[in-house]
Amino acid sequence: MSRAVLLVNLGTPTAPTPRAVRRYLREFLGDRRVVPLPRALWLPLLYGVITPLRSPRVAKAYRGIWMAEGSPLAVYSRRLAESLAREAGLPVALAMRYGEPDMETAVKELLRQGVRKLTVIPLYPQYSQTTTASVFDRLAEILARLPAQPGFCFRSDYHDHPAYIEAVAGSIRDFWQRQGRPEKLLLSFHGLPEKSRRQGDPYYDQCVTSARLIAAALGLGADDWMLVFQSRFGPARWLGPYCVEVLKRLPQEGVWSVDVVCPGFAVDCLETLEEIAGTNREVFLQAGGRQYRYIPALNDSPRHLTLMRALVEENDERST
């Protein structure tokens, strides 16, 4: 056995409880890539104020979306990995950047099986220093401690890959064939501080490219869709336009029906199911909107599996 695939997603608490959420948030928000503040300033605030206050509230939100098999992010990621292993005929391990299954355990288990070449695919279509770069940091840290390093091919992004564009556009097309089209489609991506663009992070530009290519694949006109950003946090200026502000404004402009899709999320999670599908729906309806629908992420769909197979085969060709 010489080749294997490592899929890496963000992570999730192991249970919808304050204790599990607190443990997860400490690891996630303790990453310098996520919150680049001095540790002496940030960690006391994180451990003493933020996680004690946020954990009960976040745990309650998780309970509202929890599946019989666990957290949606973990369930769909695991199903995708299992399907890819069957289809590709290769060992496929799933790891989380934060939480379980952790990256170090996954890598060492593959090496114990005789794997000597890894194809590593972070499940982030668009590159960001807060996500993809953090996965690379952790992978390098793990490999640096090994007596013999395996070869690896690291997929930094796939924001404009034809199989990705077709997978997202196809899922939207299928949804509209069943449910009908709205007046406006919002393509919503997770936000970052505006300063990330000045620092050279390509995330914003890749989101713009992805959105334009998806809209083009659907044959949408300029007035049929919008690019927006969600999950703003703190007082600093973030990438815009902000999803919530757009949803409040659209009914005033005579737009009564919207569909929202989140192409930056490989699988559904707390942010898409609780914030986008739930909270933001109420925002739009309270502003006077009449129909709001969330189009699910690719999750463990056949389209997503086709995309993953394409990335694996392409990376294998590059590393041969």
Nearest alpha-carbon partner for 229 in 253, 251, 203:
203
Distances (CA, A) of 175 to 93, 146, 258, 294: 30, 47, 13, 10
Secondary-structure percent of the chain, ordered helix, strand, coil, rounded to 5:
50, 20, 30
State the CB neighbour count (10 A cutoff) for residue 134.
22
The answer to the question of whether 304 is labelled as a binding residue is: no
Reduced to 3 states, what is the DSSP secondary structure of residue 274? Answer: helix
* Interatomic CA distance for residues 227 and 186, integer angstroms: 6
Strands 151-154 and 225-230: unpaired
Q: Is 190 within any annotated ligand binding site?
A: yes
Label residue 189 left, alpha or beta by phi (over 0 means left) and psi (-120 to 50 means alpha): beta
Q: Confirm if 155 and 119 have CB atoms less than 8 A apart.
A: yes
Taking the alpha carbons at both ends of the chain, their separation in whole angstroms is 15
The DSSP call for residue 250 is: G
Strand partners, 119: 5, 153
Which residues sit in the known binding site?
A: 190, 271
Which residues sit in the known binding site for Fe(2+)?
A: 190, 271
